[in-house]
């Protein structure tokens, strides 16, 4: 593999810096109930710009210990991402964000229409013309709080550099296992996320 040029290395560093800023903002506000929805929207927009090839992004905060109403809050940078959220959390209850949050790892797919990990989610999203996904777990000390979800219309859009940006998120994780629950400040457990995302429907 040809070494990255100085300009390419600078672009990589700029991308990492942008994402670190987003995560620092999220970590700072997640301890407060004020302005959470606004911050999530800001982070979603940052992620869409920070990760090369992204056409849109979303941020979701989850309770990983709850099979229903696990979504605590979410935001999307673009309307098509909100539509994908509806499919993932309501229609089929599977997808890259759920996998990333439950397993505490970065998840990447370059061909959602034929993705075996999510046989119900993938084809539906593929029919929307969205074929690539990258989900980065949001990890605070000892707990998974959700995921940043990045989407692109092309196939195989997210390369190793995009995966490397996932490591920025991973390095924010502290001790403890990835299955611990997280409750958004302000007790949002009784207030499912907006945009119609509430209780998922069993599709099987």
d(CA 202, CA 204): 6
Q: Which domain holds residue 123?
A: 6-189
What pTM does this model have? 0.72
Residue 55 within a domain: yes
- What rounded mean pLDDT belongs to the chain? 75
Residue 197 within a domain: no
Residue 71 within a domain: yes
Q: How many domains does the chain have?
A: 1
Q: What is the CATH number of the domain that holds 139?
A: 3.30.450.40
Condensed to tens digits (0 to 9), the pLDDT of residues 68-109 reads: 657 888 899 999 999 999 999 999 999 999 999 888 888 999
Residue 200 within a domain: no
Condensed to tens digits (0 to 9), the pLDDT of residues 124-178 reads: 999 999 999 999 888 777 777 888 899 999 999 998 877 776 556 545 443 333 3
Residue 89 within a domain: yes
Residue 199 within a domain: no
Residue 119 within a domain: yes
Please answer whether residues 58 and 71 qualify as being in contact, where contact means their C-beta atoms are separated by less than 8 angstroms: no
Please answer whether residues 73 and 37 qualify as being in contact, where contact means their C-beta atoms are separated by less than 8 angstroms: yes
Q: Which residue in the block uniquely carries the two structure tokens 């999203």?
A: 125
Q: Which residues contact 104 (CB under 8 A, 6 or more apart)?
A: 137, 139, 144, 173, 178, 179
Residue 195 within a domain: no
């Amino acid at each position: 593999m040809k070494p990255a040029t100085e300009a390419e290395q600078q672009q990589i560093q700029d991308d990492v810096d942008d994402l670190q800023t987003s995560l620092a903002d999220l970590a700072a506000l997640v301890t407060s109930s004020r302005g959470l929805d606004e911050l999530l929207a800001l982070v979603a927009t940052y992620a869409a710009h920070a990760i090369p090839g992204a056409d849109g992004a979303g941020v979701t905060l989850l309770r990983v210990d709850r099979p229903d109403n696990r979504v605590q809050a979410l935001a999307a940078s673009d309307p098509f991402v909100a539509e994908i959220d509806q499919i993932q959390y309501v229609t089929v209850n599977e997808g890259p964000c759920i996998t990333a949050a439950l397993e505490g790892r970065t998840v990447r797919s370059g061909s959602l229409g034929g993705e075996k990990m999510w046989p119900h989610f993938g084809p539906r999203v593929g029919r929307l013309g969205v074929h690539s996904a990258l989900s980065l777990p949001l990890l605070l000390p000892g707990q998974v709080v959700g995921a940043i979800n990045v989407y692109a219309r092309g196939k195989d859009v997210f390369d190793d550099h995009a995966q490397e940006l996932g490591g920025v998120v991973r390095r924010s994780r502290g001790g403890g296992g990835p299955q611990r629950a997280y409750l958004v400040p302000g007790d949002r457990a009784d207030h499912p996320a907006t945009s119609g995302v509430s209780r998922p429907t069993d599709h099987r």
